[in-house]
Amino acid sequence: MKELSNAIGKLESMKNNEVKNNESLIEFNETINILKDIKKKEEESKNKSTKGFSTAMNILENMKKDDLIWTRRNNTFYICRVISNEKYHCPKNKEKMLEYLKNKNVNITYEEAELNDIWHFVECEFYEVGTEEAVLGTIVNNMKVGGTTQGFKKNKESVLEFSKRVYNEKSKKDYYKLDIPKDKWSYFWSGMLAEELEELVGLYLQIKKNYGIYSSTCKNDTKQYEFVLFEKDTGKKAYLQVKEHNISLDDYNDITKNNLLYIFSNNDTEYESKANIIRITKIELQKFIEENKNILPYKILRWLR
């Protein structure tokens, strides 16, 4: 960065003192502008990298014993529990790091740290949970943001409750105290998040109602429906809308002119009868769950265990 600034300064000086004609002046200005653009992009990249490192270090410093962490290797997710309040900050010099690790009695080699670019860490125990279908959508999406380490800003209470339950089950011990729900179904529906609801209702329609799903229609920008379905015997199209709250049926007049619309709302709202709109109830889904536990994903069944 310093060398680039020096080069720009020299060119500016040469332009002012040595350029005598317009053609040369244009060439100098073009070269200077290119170098300035390169410098600007490098500065933006450095600032972004520095900010990301600072955020990660701040989160690391605030971690404490018994905090839970989600991580992923390739396509497999792991639940981790911090087992000590101590933070480790290793020197990148090999001799200094080996001495540091020896004094700290930490079981990691310099080669492992260098290979995985791990120089700052906390001690954890971890358990394999599974691939994406086993984990809450909020957890999966949080890892797509791109930061090295980050906290949860959305659905924090549900993520924490889910994480405690997963840890207890995978570790085979009741480490975290959990409230025993008086009514398992009330607890189940209160824990289900938007993506898990969509998956549950989608499975119900495929298995019980003989529908297939056009997977290319499962996009976040289709606000009026979750995805487009087709009846396997007739090919007739249908649509699905799932909401945690109320659904305004008047918003779907165009869809329901010639197609069925299935709706599910998690807040038990009663809807007036309307042509081509079919409401799916919690009672239907509860029966479906009881009959199909062998094929439902872990992240859904977890709320019933």
Cα 135 vs. chain centroid, distance in angstroms?
Answer: 10
Q: Quick check: helix, strand or coil at residue 159?
A: helix
Domain presence at residue 180: no
Domain presence at residue 63: no
Last residue of a domain, one of 110, 136, 171: 171
Q: Once rounded to an integer, what is the mean pLDDT over residues 207-216?
A: 94
Please check whether residues 232 and 250 belong to one and the same domain: yes
Please check whether residues 212 and 260 belong to one and the same domain: yes
Please check whether residues 130 and 37 belong to one and the same domain: no
Please check whether residues 101 and 6 belong to one and the same domain: no
Q: How many domains does the chain have?
A: 3
Please check whether residues 75 and 44 belong to one and the same domain: no
Domain presence at residue 285: yes
Which residue range is the domain that position 239 belongs to? 186-304
Domain presence at residue 124: yes
Domain presence at residue 177: no
Question: How would residue 111 be classed by pLDDT, with cut points 50, 70 and 90?
Answer: confident
- Tokens 């001690």, located at residue: 123
Q: What is the CATH number of the domain that holds 282?
A: 3.40.1350
Residues 6+ positions from 116 with CB-CB distance below 8 Å: none
Please check whether residues 72 and 162 belong to one and the same domain: yes
Please check whether residues 54 and 74 belong to one and the same domain: no
Q: Once rounded to an integer, what is the mean pLDDT over residues 199-211?
A: 95
Residues 6+ positions from 86 with CB-CB distance below 8 Å: 104, 122, 123
Please check whether residues 83 and 119 belong to one and the same domain: yes
Please check whether residues 211 and 289 belong to one and the same domain: yes
What pLDDT is attached to residue 166?
92
Please check whether residues 160 and 235 belong to one and the same domain: no
CA 269, CA 246: separation in Å to the nearest integer? 7
Over 70: is that where the pLDDT of 31 sits? no
Domain presence at residue 176: no
Over 60: is that where the pLDDT of 106 sits? yes
What pLDDT is attached to residue 262?
93
8 A C-beta contact, residue 168 and residue 174: yes
Please check whether residues 238 and 209 belong to one and the same domain: yes
pTM: 0.64
Cα 44 vs. chain centroid, distance in angstroms?
Answer: 25
